[in-house]
Copies of this chain bind each other. A is one copy, B any other.
Amino acid sequence: MLYDTLAEELYTEICHIPLIDPHSHINPRKAASTSLDDILGYHYYTELAHSVGMDQEPLAPAAEPRERVRAILCHMAQFDNTVQYQWFIEICRAFLDFQGHRITMADCAWLYDSAEKLMRGPDWEDRVLRQSNLEKIFLTNDFDDPLTGFDTDRYVPCLRTDDLVFHLANAEVRGRLAKATKIEVGDLPSLRQAIGSLFEHFTKHGAKACAISLPPDFAPYPISEHELRSALTALSPDNVAARSLCSVGVFWMLAELCRDLSLPFDLMIGVNRRVYENGVYQGQDLFDQRTSLLQYRKLFNAFPSVPFCISVLSSGQNQELVSHAWIFPNVITSGHWWYSNVPPYIEQDLRGRLHAVPKAKQIGYYSDMYKLEFGLPKFNMYRRILAQVLADDFVRPRLYTDAQAIELARLLLRDNVKRIFNV
């Protein structure tokens, strides 16, 4: 879909670089889709269909998958302008033997059956990975994931810590923590011990990062032991102040453990949860542009040895990210996240980074996918934009040769990930 010859040539070369995807939500025990329902169950499709008027009945777990797919496809014509529609077309063409350029209701039955048959093939997962040129994929594991039953070399574990930082007041979370660590968390020492044992468990099983998503108003700082102890004692779902102090305290503890165990810390900054209360599953979260990386100054100063791989949710914050990565040795730009994972924002944010952040400090892209089939269209989208920017901003102005441009792409898509996460 590139129409510029130079960009097309660069793109073709870039596609040969084997990918290491540094952030996904893949379930390694069921990584690939088993039906079209798995594909269209991705929250982008359910939320866009809902946004143009689909009610949520077909989304109920009890609903017939084939009917759910029909309902979503039926609404798709109203968002065929979106990049998510393009991802879907590209999946159908690359993996499902679809030849056309637009999907209509007439394709529904055929496509559903075709997908089911193909995905049942014993080598489907391998075929998707091979065709997508995906070598390794980072996961997002719950803290109580046993991390067994899958190939941790292909699917790299990563400790997701949102529950620990923001939901420790919930009895259910504390129960899971106790079960996973055999430590009943009551006070500060037992909390530290429990979280420490999670880190041990994860690193022992090949985890290469700690990760968390953070609301726009989060501003970490080192709270005193005394304060954290009091907050832990007072912690309950209704005690907002205590919960807030515990969040800061646990977060800081995670950064200390990242430092001690040499793990990079992925910060995904800016998401407000449940803004649209009646939204579809995973389609309720938005952001607030009024946020600043200045909120993290204490953190960045306190942990110079921890690589912080930062994703920002709003493109407006990208210049702050660019400037922080330019100044702080431990700040790294990471991917194009969610609401900024749309071509015009990727292009703009990428250009800011390419001209101002040392190339060694940029992680180009991650898929954020739940199912393997999305790796190909999402990375392709990024690679096309990257190829065009390299053509226009580097090769044509004779700043880089073609070969140097490809080398830069290799850093962004592979070598930086290998070095920074030590894989």
Contact = CB atoms under 8 A, between A and B. Distances in A.
A53 interface: yes
A196 to B, nearest CB: 27
A326 B50 CA distance: 9
Contact of A289 (B81, B320, B394): B320
Q: How many copies does the complex hold?
A: 3
B361 A1 contact: no
Interface string A242-286: 000000000000000000000000000000100111110001101
B358 A78 contact: yes
Contacts of A403: none
A421 interface: no
Interface of A: 1-3, 47-48, 50-53, 78-83, 86, 101, 272, 275-279, 283-284, 286-294, 297, 300-301, 304, 314-317, 319-320, 322-329, 339-340, 342-345, 348, 351-352, 354-361, 393-394, 396-400, 408
Given A316-B319, A319-B315, A356 B83 contact: yes
A12 to B, nearest CB: 16
B82 A286 contact: no
Given A319-B316, A351-B344, A358-B79, A327 B51 contact: yes
Contact of A81 (B325, B339, B345, B358): B358
Contacts of A278: 301, 304
A358 B51 CA distance: 8
A78 B3 contact: no
A262 to B, nearest CB: 15
A63 to B, nearest CB: 19
A278 to B, nearest CB: 7
A264 to B, nearest CB: 15
A279 B344 contact: no
B81 A397 contact: no
A276 B324 CA distance: 9
A53 to B, nearest CB: 6
Contacts of A354: 81
A320 B101 contact: no
Contacts of A304: 278
5 nearest CB pairs, A to B: A79-B358, A1-B397, A344-B351, A78-B360, A81-B359
A352 B322 CA distance: 21
13 contacts: A1-B397, A3-B397, A51-B358, A272-B294, A276-B300, A286-B293, A286-B320, A286-B324, A289-B319, A316-B319, A319-B339, A322-B342, A343-B351
Given A289-B316, A289-B317, A329 B50 contact: yes
Given A50-B329, A276-B328, A345 B319 contact: yes
Contacts of A399: 1, 86
